[in-house]
Each structure stands twice: as structure tokens, then as C-alpha cells.
Amino acid sequence: ETGVTQTPRHLVMGMTNKKSLKCEQHLGHNAMYWYKQSAKKPLELMFVYSLEERVENNSVPSRFSPECPNSSHLFLHLHTLQPEDSALYLCASSQADRNLNTEAFFGQGTRLTVV
């Protein structure tokens, strides 16, 4: 059982569809993250959840809606996306305690194509 699991691995959706990406971590961490990775662009941090509370939202369009029902699960709800939203979406988790620098563990990502 891998530490961070993302489903689905691949998703093709139309611009009028609604879909959700799922992430589950089995590491007992207290923080989870969504990143967007587009071709030829740096890794973009989208959302940060700590103890199930959203603590960071980096100017992400409202067509992306995160949800963190508990410390092990993170969702990214998608609706009315644009073709430029096609990218690899990566979930990560970490143990984010005060004054403790720790690494993040990543899932394998969901390759999203918007048509």
C-alpha cells in the first residue's frame, strides 16, 4: 500500500462536466496539498490543508474547489474547466509541525485532459 494514493490516474473531461479527483494518505500526516504541474511551467501550489482546515489558497479559480473531510482524504472538485486547465495534478502530504521542517510525500498524480 503506497503512502499517498491518487485516483483516477487519468481523466478526460469536457468543459461542461463535473468531476472530482481523490487523494488518500496512509502516513498519519496532518497536512495535505494540491499542486498543478503544467508543461514547461514551474510546480504551482494550489491549496494547503492543515488539520482539515484550508490554510492556503493561491489565487486558484473558483472552478477548482477543494474538500478535506478528514486528515487522510483530500478531494479536488472540478467544474466548467478550460482546456488550459489540462495538467498533472499532484497531491502531497506531510507532518507539518511548528518549528519542524519535514519533507512532503507525493502521489503519482492525475493526468487531466480538458476537451
Q: Is 12 in the site for other proteins (CB under 8 A)?
A: no
Residue in 5, 34, 27 with CA at minimum distance from that of residue 95: 27
Beta carbon of residue 70, minimum distance to other proteins (angstroms, whole number): 17
What is the C-alpha separation between 46 and 90, in angstroms, rounded? 10
Contacting range for other proteins; rule: CB under 8 A; set: 12-20, 65-73, 78-86, 87-95? 87-95
What is the C-alpha separation between 68 and 29, in angstroms, rounded? 13
Q: From residue 67, how far is each of 38, 101, 102 by CA, in Å?
A: 22, 25, 23
Among 11, 21, 48, 74, which residue sits at the site for other proteins (rule: CB under 8 A)?
A: 48
Look up residue 84 and give its DSSP letter.
Answer: G
Contacting range for other proteins; rule: CB under 8 A; set: 12-20, 42-50, 64-72, 75-83? 42-50
Chain contacts with other proteins (rule: CB under 8 A)? 4, 6, 31, 33, 42-43, 45, 48, 50, 55-56, 90, 92, 94, 96-109, 111
